[in-house]
Amino acid sequence: MNQCSSSGAGVRRSSSHGPRSVRGISLIEVLVAVVVLSIGLLGVAAMQSVALRGGQSSLETSQAVMQTNAILDAIRANRANAAAYNTDAMVCTAVAGSDVAGSDLQTWITDLKNNIANNDADTTTCGEIRGCPEACVITIQWDDSRAGGGNERQVVTRTTI
């Protein structure tokens, strides 16, 4: 008899590789894969959350800089009464003004609260103007704890009118 025959008479098969023992992947392997995948997805979700909070903080800082430029433009437009823009303390509520400077300050505080905190009733967003007309120092502060920063964030701008 030829040993290279294709009849399979001389080939022995072990019983461990038969169709009964090969049943696919085990349930434990599937569970381990699901756990590894879920940990990875939780990591991605955490990174997305941190990125969103950082983006919010950056947006509020940009809004503060733009509001600083807006009040500086108002002061320069009313240069003759620039000293009337001095608040000498943090102003957190928009008080109605009877003159141009008072009206500008009221609009400025209202815009700060609308653009930074998205809330007119916000008590944490405040602004201060000192030293006008010569060297103006404008300070804007707000609560940045929601965005992952410190409890209080400030933007300080110093300029000459």
Tens-digit pLDDT profile for residues 47-83: 998 888 888 888 888 999 999 999 999 999 998 889 9
Mean of pLDDT over the chain = 82
Tens-place pLDDT, residues 17-58: 555 555 667 888 899 999 999 999 999 999 998 888 888 888
Model pLDDT, residue 21? 59
**Of 102, 44, 98, which is closest to residue 74 (Cα–Cα)?**
102
Model pLDDT, residue 124? 82
Identify residue 83 by its one-letter amino acid code.
A
Model pLDDT, residue 20? 59
Torsion of CA 97, 102, 108, 112, to 10 degrees: -60
Range of weakest confidence among 7-11, 71-75, 77-81, 151-155: 7-11
Helix/strand/coil for 109: helix
Residue 16 CB partners (closer than 8 Å, separation 6+)? none
Quick check: 94 pLDDT over 90? Answer: no
Helix/strand/coil for 74: helix
Range of weakest confidence among 3-12, 59-68, 72-81, 131-140: 3-12
Q: What is the largest CA-CA distance in the chain?
A: 119
Tens-place pLDDT, residues 95-114: 787 899 999 999 999 999 88
| Percent of the residues in the chain that have a pLDDT greater than 70, as a whole number | 80
**Of 141, 139, 142, 143, which is closest to residue 157 (Cα–Cα)?**
139
